[in-house]
Amino acid sequence: MGQRADLVFTMPDKGGVRLVGLKGNAIFPWSAPPTASVTIGDGPTPEVNVSSLRAFDLTRYGVPAADPVAGAAQYDVTRDIVLGGGPKFRNGSLDFSDTFDGMASPYVLPIHVREGQLVRLHIVNNSPKFHPIHIHGHIFSVLSKNGHRLTGAPIHLDAVLVGPNETWDVAFKADNPGIWMLHCHVLAHASAGMSMTINYDGIYTPYTMGTQSGNIPE
């Protein structure tokens, strides 16, 4: 779904480690059997009981620590972003669009920032789809999920997976001037309209969004 993770683990003295890939479903947590399985090391590896596995909650993992962005007393720019979709006219014809705030790219209002500002985004998923929301040029600090603050270690991401009916609050420091994309990392959703920009004051481009181009997400 566009989310990425770095895994660090300690190999046992004997035997191997098995990494198992599972397919998440909307109703049941996991499918069976595993969709992929990789063994690292030599010797026997443990069997995997798929029914006993639970989704990893990164908001509760690790030891709390200070995060200057997540712990800021106030933010210079705040923006609510509602994820949705439905039938829309795009390029002169009726089609299904994935939307930010009820609008499909290139008609989504950009987020205007100045260098050095702290920016907070409140992301609400009103659609039945999973949307990994990806930012270019910056790193999010996660503030909360479904209104609950983190109880684990600080979380820094460039893509946050927002499930149906979920809300996530994230923040970042505007420290990289430019015109940057913010979009769903499922590129079919991005090309269907779920794309917008973060615009720094004083930064301009000679190009116009929405014009005909052979360079499209694929």
**Residue extents of the structural domains in the chain:** 1-56, 77-200
- What confidence tens digit (pLDDT) does each residue in 2-14 have? 677 777 878 888 8
Q: In terms of Cα–Cα distance, which of 158, 175, 150 is closest to 70?
A: 150
Looking at this protein, which amino acid is placed at residue 154? P
When mean pLDDT is compared across 34-38, 105-109, 169-173, 186-190, the lowest value belongs to: 34-38
80 in Cβ contact with 126 (< 8 Å): no
- In DSSP terms, 182 is beta-bridged to 135, 196
* Farthest CA pair distance, the chain: 64
**Percent of the chain residues topping a pLDDT of 70:** 85
CATH top class, domain 77-200: mainly beta
Q: State the pTM of this model.
A: 0.82
